Structure formats: structure tokens, C-alpha cells
């Protein structure tokens, strides 16, 4: 014989539909969602860490220096002298010799690394000089001296000769400097 509770279960199982809840005023329970897999939070954390590292690296890395084209001393000196030639009327003749000398001295400094703007030719060749690292000794002899001494002497002549008094003398001075510069053309 069957226990009475078992027969009640069979009878209840035969009823169509859901069994009534013990407290009908309560709402039915919502569906329970499965939790995220364990690897999703770890993958998100790793992605966030990599993104943070990339951001820090991009902000702190050394920026590449912009590439500047190398200076062309001859062409810049030629351009400066040609510019002086076009401005003959605007520049007083007394100042023209100084400007021509400065252009040529800057050319010597940029092309041969000679301290020409600050020294005369005599001081460069015959004066006692300090030893500069990477500079061959004696610097005042050989090809180096033959190469730039004529231009340096022209600079001295221009600096210490009487200033031109007319625009024609200024033009002749610039033409002389341009001719000397043409001899130096690389």
C-alpha cells in the first residue's frame, strides 16, 4: 500500500497548469541569469592595463627631432651679397663695407669652422690659440690656410680700409666680394 502523501503527489501531478504558490500576493521570481565567465573581467583588466601602458609610453617617449636641411654656407653668403647689391640705395656707403665683411666672415665660420667674426687673420694664424678637441694641429698651416686665407685677408681689407663714399664704390666692393666667393664655389 502506498503512503497517503505519495498518492496526494500523484493526484497533484495530474492537474494541468502550475501549482498555486503558497502566498499569491508575492510576484513570481525573475529569471536568474548565469554569471559572466571568469576570464572576461581578467581580459578587460589586461586590455585596460595595456591601453594605459601605451598611453604612458606615447606621452613620455622622446620625440624625434625635426630634420633640418643642412646649411649651405656658400649659397647663403652669395644670396646675402646679392641682396646687399640690390639694396645699394638704401644702405649708406659707410656701412656697406662692414656688412660685406660680416657676410664673408660668417661664411668662413660656417664653412671652415673658423672664428672669423671675432678675430682678424693675423690673430687666427699667428696668435697663440687654445687646443680645441677634434681640431688638427697646427691649424694655421697646409691646405686649411691656403683655402681660406685669401678670403680672410679680403675681410680684413674690407674691415680696415677706408669706408666707401659713393654707391659706385660700394657696388665695386660687393662685386669684389662676389668674385672672391665665386672662386670658393664648392
22-31, 42-51, 56-65, range with the lowest pLDDT: 22-31
Q: What is the pLDDT of residues 115-136, one digit of tens each?
A: 767 776 666 666 545 545 555 4
Q: What is the pTM of this model?
A: 0.51
- Whether 91 has a pLDDT exceeding 50, the answer reads yes
% pLDDT > 90, the chain: 11
127-169 pLDDT, tens per residue? 545 545 555 444 445 555 666 666 666 666 666 667 677 788 8
- The whole-angstrom separation of Cα 162 and Cα 62 is 54
Amino acid at each position: 500500500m502506498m503512503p497517503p502523501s505519495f498518492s496526494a503527489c500523484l493526484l497533484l501531478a495530474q492537474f494541468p497548469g502550475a501549482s498555486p504558490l503558497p502566498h499569491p500576493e508575492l510576484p513570481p521570481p525573475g529569471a536568474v541569469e548565469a554569471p559572466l565567465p571568469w576570464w572576461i573581467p581578467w581580459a578587460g583588466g589586461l586590455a585596460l592595463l595595456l591601453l594605459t601602458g601605451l598611453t604612458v609610453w606615447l606621452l613620455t617617449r622622446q620625440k624625434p627631432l625635426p630634420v633640418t636641411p643642412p646649411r649651405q654656407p656658400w649659397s647663403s653668403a652669395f644670396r646675402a651679397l646679392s641682396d646687399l647689391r640690390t639694396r645699394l640705395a638704401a644702405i649708406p656707403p659707410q656701412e656697406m663695407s662692414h656688412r660685406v665683411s660680416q657676410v664673408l666672415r660668417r661664411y668662413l665660420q660656417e664653412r671652415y669652422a673658423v672664428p672669423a667674426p671675432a678675430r682678424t687673420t693675423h690673430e687666427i694664424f699667428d696668435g697663440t690659440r687654445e687646443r680645441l678637441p677634434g681640431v688638427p694641429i697646427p691649424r694655421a698651416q697646409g691646405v686649411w690656410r691656403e683655402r681660406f686665407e685669401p678670403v680672410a685677408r679680403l675681410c680684413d681689407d674690407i674691415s680696415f680700409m677706408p669706408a666707401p663714399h659713393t654707391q659706385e664704390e660700394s657696388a665695386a666692393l660687393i662685386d669684389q666680394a662676389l668674385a672672391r666667393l665665386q672662386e670658393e664655389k664648392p
